[in-house]
Structure 1
Amino acid sequence: MGGSFKTQREVNGLFELTDSARNNLKNNAYYNDDLAPTKLDERTWGTYHIAALWVGMSVCIPTYMMASGLMAQGLSWWQAILNIALGNLIVLIPMQLNSHAGTKYGIPYPVFARLSFGIKGAHIASIARAIVAAGWFGIQTWIGGGAINAALSIVSPAWGAWSAGIWVSFFAFWALNVWIAHKGPDAIKFMESWGAPILGVLSLSLMIWAVTAVTQMGGSVGDILNLPATYAPGGFWKIFLPGLTANIAFWATLALNIPDFSRYAKTQKDQFMGQLLGLPTTMAAFAFVGVFVTGATSIVYGEFLWDPVAVVANIGSPIAGLLGALGIAVATLTTNIAANVVAPANGISNLNPQKITYGMGAIITGVFGVVMMPWKLMETAGAYLFDWLGTYGLFLGPLAGMYVADYYIFRKKTLDLDDLFKGEESRYWYKNGINDKAIWTWVIAGIFPVLGKMVPALSFFSDNGWLIGFVVAMIVYPVLMKNDTSSLITPEEEEAMNEKVTG
């Protein structure tokens, strides 16, 4: 292991494969250029770029719907904002911790997962993440398709009366998403650069509409902010705790595959500060837009409209409605591609790196996005918050806890880059390419949260499923791995493989 030549180069605490090691891996079954560690000169993202990435991903319609959905379930506006802010501060912890490996070693998520699950076992973890991303891809595409359908209905009442119109709009928007995603990182970067400003204008416009509509009815901003909670007596925690789990689950996906992005950061400080400044602040701010506008709809229409597409469809002005619908469609397009394609495309490519490219992975992601039937997931606020977000969060918490335990507690942040791309001779091969202790950790950490979904008396465990799974996995994994030291690197091996460069 490590070979007779230096396999990895270190400059100021950041590592890359040496040219000789990279050349030796070119024809390896577990290596391709999309999965290869980023070179040091490819790590060009500063604090601003990381923060801008989070602004672009956080300012999206599902964020709006998360906040308004909590109000529709019974929370007051400030309780909904508190729920969202707390959830994002909690998920930021594993997000920051798992980012470190991406920045230090330049590896994407499917390769990062090889450390704990094994070279082949990583398929299980990366595809689990890919399925969730495909579900999100479908949800965002359904929202964008609905916005296009609303815009066409404003232009043509005949279109609005056509029952198949929503399906034509959905699949047309789906095709546009897949086409741009297939074109790769440059197209995605271009879309991100102008997507966030559009969402900013859309947010401001919705706020102005809310104030204007309420004022025209003789009300005021105070009427919106003074709306009381509507949950039944004693029902606060029955909404708040599952809502918190749903909020954590909202970005629990990125807490796993954040190395896909942090691998491009210049330094650890850049990725740390960029995420700290970009994620919790943006989520809280845009969530406020959601609760404010949703509160206004209860005054204007007599009911909470938690879907912004429905709000736009009810706006009296055809021009305002048309621009709002198109704004939602364009903004959803930019966010969807950036947040929901990279992880599954990389994960699918990891299944067979020599034959499946990132572009092929993007197409497959699009197909799975339809198979997940997003129109079912979006039928009600409860289905969106608790059935979709709450359920998949139960399975992702243990993974995040396991990765933190593996990288920090078990390996002490020391990796062998070269061996991450080899077969049976790799120190990360375990048994037949799979680390069964990682699978057992996942099962053990998920038992009670999953049982809580099926047994009402154990609902506490599902209501707090992500946190419980995270903590249990972080404890169980090191215990199971205590005597399995074959994948660890000795000081002598570390010295033999590392080429240190002062820069």
Structure 2
Amino acid sequence: MSDVKNISFSDKELGGSSPTSEKVSEVGVVEGLSQPKQNIFEICLSYARLDTGGDMSATGRWSNADGILTHAVVTYWLCDAVAPGNLRLGSSLVTLGFSWKVTISIIALGHFLISLAITANSVIGARYHIPYTIQSRASFGFFFSFVVVFIRMLVGFFWYGLNTYTGAECVNAVIIAIWPSFQNVPNHLPESANITTQMMTAYDTTLHGSAYTWAFLSGLNSMLGNYGTMAVNINDFARYARSSRMIVVQIIIIPLSFMFMSFIGIIIAGAASDLYGKEIWDPLTIMSHWTGSHQSRAGAAFVGLSFVLAQLGSNISANCISAANDLNAMFPRYINLRRGSYLIAFIGAWALTPWNILSSAAALLDFMDGYVIWLAPITGVLLADYYVVHRRTYNIDEMYIPNGIYRYNKFGTNCRAVAAWLIGCVPLIPGFASSVRTI
């Protein structure tokens, strides 16, 4: 079989401009590149040139791309963690009956466990420089991989909608703060804040026995689901690393950053509950109370604008780019990354009604509990296929050939992988259906 990397096509044959590596940015965005309109074989060959970005060196590094350094991996996760939506994690668990200490422990443990899966999967992308859409072909088969790509894309729609609605809440707070308030609302903002709130001192764990165990596991599952999507498609970003050593730092930075943001959220929610005399689980709703003076409205405006900026960066990197990649992989003739982003914005931010998911702390946790049942088995299959079945060795060229070794059968499906995935998710579907009814 001929080497895919040695096959080249002219611009006319590919149906667009030549997909040179100079047109591929570090976030995988292709500018000025029309999609090929040839048969699937030629499409896959053009994808091979896009994804590898040129010839691979003997050490598995790109010869014409800089890749992500360790500090860039750290800053990436810090940017994701400081998103205002993550302030809800801790306060939402406290409302279920946990103390703040138990809540922080659940968040740290959950994100540590998911960081192990993320890092283990990142090794594949860092070594072979392939995205999730290509990696899944080796595990599930060339054609069935589009099914698991679709599932990941659908979850990306939901998370994009949730984050967009969160950003809209921040914008709403800015509008309220800027628009003059004619109501005589007293300014409850204290001159000096006390870090010890009633939520941290008086709220002990009220759950015991089996109720505590089930709530603990539910909260832990929600934390696993918080970035369960990234455990699946982390290689959309890890493929730009120069070596697998650069992504090991994720095991430390992921639990620490999210634990810190959740702790800040608990402090904010607790302080607001003390000030306003009612339980406030969502820190983003606090700014609506800051209308009693020019100073408080100015504070709400600046905080809201900073939240909008943070939410925008997190939503683009964690949801928009990944889901657009999935759409582009499934419909390369019709959808590029820009069109995919428009579709994600319309469907995720409006059609899926994210405001219903964020209507309460329980609804948010039920959603995070529910969708992870589809993604966790996918992650397990991806890891087992690479580390156990194929013994950490993939033939990258074959991944771009429909009739290659990763076709497995005439249907392009790895039946063993599909069976393993179904065994992992089908028994949990009744619980998923129950959580959907509560939203």
Same fold (TM over 0.5): yes
Aligned match of 1:73:
96
Counterpart-to-counterpart distance in 2, 1:114 and 1:239: 37
Q: Residue 359 of structure 2 aligns to a residue in which SS?
A: coil
Aligned match of 1:36:
51
Q: Runs of 5+ in structure 1 lacking a partner?
A: 8-17, 161-208, 457-503
- From 349, 355, 377, the equivalent of 1:398 is 377
- Are residues 391 and 214 of structure 1, via their aligned partners in 2, closer, same or farther at CA, if it must alter by over 3 Å? farther
Counterpart-to-counterpart distance in 2, 1:337 and 1:70: 26
Identity of aligned residues (%): 26
Aligned match of 1:308:
283
Q: Cα distance, 1:304 vs. partner?
A: 2.8
- From 232, 242, 254, the equivalent of 2:218 is 242
- From 288, 300, 310, the equivalent of 1:321 is 300
Mapped pair 1:377 → 2:357: yes
Contact 2:269–2:280 (Cα < 8 Å) also in 1: yes
Q: Cα distance, 1:233 vs. partner?
A: 4.6
Aligned match of 1:408:
387
Counterpart-to-counterpart distance in 2, 1:327 and 1:258: 26
Please state which structure has a larger fraction of its residues in helix.
1
Counterpart-to-counterpart distance in 1, 2:117 and 2:98: 27
Q: Residue 221 of structure 1 aligns to a residue in which SS?
A: coil
- From 100, 103, 115, the equivalent of 2:123 is 100
Q: Cα distance, 1:404 vs. partner?
A: 0.6
| Aligned-partner residue type, residue 161 of structure 2 | G
Q: Cα distance, 1:114 vs. partner?
A: 0.7
Counterpart-to-counterpart distance in 2, 1:453 and 1:56: 30
Q: Residue 107 of structure 1 aligns to a residue in which SS?
A: coil
Q: Cα distance, 1:21 vs. partner?
A: 4.2
Q: Cα distance, 1:301 vs. partner?
A: 1.8
1:285-330 Cα shifts (integer Å, max 9, x gaps) = 1111011111212211223322222111113411111112222112
Q: Residue 73 of structure 1 aligns to a residue in which SS?
A: coil
1:465-501 Cα shifts (integer Å, max 9, x gaps) = xxxxxxxxxxxxxxxxxxxxxxxxxxxxxxxxxxxxx
Q: Cα distance, 1:447 vs. partner?
A: 2.7
Mapped pair 1:434 → 2:413: yes
| Aligned-partner residue type, residue 110 of structure 2 | G
Contact 1:38–1:264 (Cα < 8 Å) also in 2: no
TM-score (norm 2): 0.82
Counterpart-to-counterpart distance in 1, 2:368 and 2:182: 33
Q: Cα distance, 1:453 vs. partner?
A: 4.7
Counterpart-to-counterpart distance in 1, 2:118 and 2:172: 36
For the aligned residue pairs, the C-alpha RMSD in angstroms reads: 2.7
Mapped pair 1:58 → 2:81: yes
Counterpart-to-counterpart distance in 2, 1:455 and 1:295: 31
Aligned match of 1:13:
none
Structure 1, 333-342 or 304-313: larger mean CA deviation: 304-313
Contact 2:197–2:271 (Cα < 8 Å) also in 1: no
Q: Cα distance, 1:91 vs. partner?
A: 0.7
Q: Cα distance, 1:96 vs. partner?
A: 1.1
Counterpart-to-counterpart distance in 2, 1:59 and 1:277: 16
Mapped pair 1:419 → 2:398: yes
Q: Residue 126 of structure 1 aligns to a residue in which SS?
A: helix
Q: Cα distance, 1:126 vs. partner?
A: 0.9
Counterpart-to-counterpart distance in 2, 1:79 and 1:129: 31
| Aligned-partner residue type, residue 301 of structure 1 | Y
| Aligned-partner residue type, residue 85 of structure 1 | A
1:163-184 Cα shifts (integer Å, max 9, x gaps) = xxxxxxxxxxxxxxxxxxxxxx
Q: Residue 119 of structure 1 aligns to a residue in which SS?
A: coil
Q: Residue 109 of structure 2 aligns to a residue in which SS?
A: helix
Mapped pair 1:265 → 2:241: yes
Counterpart-to-counterpart distance in 2, 1:226 and 1:404: 43
- From 207, 220, 229, the equivalent of 2:204 is 229
| Mapping for residues 163-242 of structure 1, pairs under 5 Å | 213=190, 221=196, 223=198, 225-229=200-204, 231-234=206-209, 235-242=211-218
Contact 2:225–2:368 (Cα < 8 Å) also in 1: yes
| Aligned-partner residue type, residue 255 of structure 1 | A
Mapped pair 1:344 → 2:323: yes
Mapped pair 1:279 → 2:259: no
Q: Residue 44 of structure 2 aligns to a residue in which SS?
A: coil
| Aligned-partner residue type, residue 251 of structure 2 | L
Counterpart-to-counterpart distance in 2, 1:220 and 1:285: 14
Q: Residue 42 of structure 1 aligns to a residue in which SS?
A: coil
| Mapping for residues 83-122 of structure 1, pairs under 5 Å | 83-122=106-145
Q: Residue 227 of structure 2 aligns to a residue in which SS?
A: helix
Q: Residue 143 of structure 1 aligns to a residue in which SS?
A: helix
- Are residues 220 and 372 of structure 1, via their aligned partners in 2, closer, same or farther at CA, if it must alter by over 3 Å? closer
- Are residues 81 and 31 of structure 1, via their aligned partners in 2, closer, same or farther at CA, if it must alter by over 3 Å? farther
Contact 1:152–1:159 (Cα < 8 Å) also in 2: no
Counterpart-to-counterpart distance in 1, 2:271 and 2:347: 36
Contact 2:370–2:431 (Cα < 8 Å) also in 1: no
Structure 1, 276-285 or 250-259: larger mean CA deviation: 276-285
- Are residues 299 and 263 of structure 1, via their aligned partners in 2, closer, same or farther at CA, if it must alter by over 3 Å? same
Mapped pair 1:297 → 2:312: no
| Aligned-partner residue type, residue 102 of structure 1 | G
Contact 2:160–2:315 (Cα < 8 Å) also in 1: yes
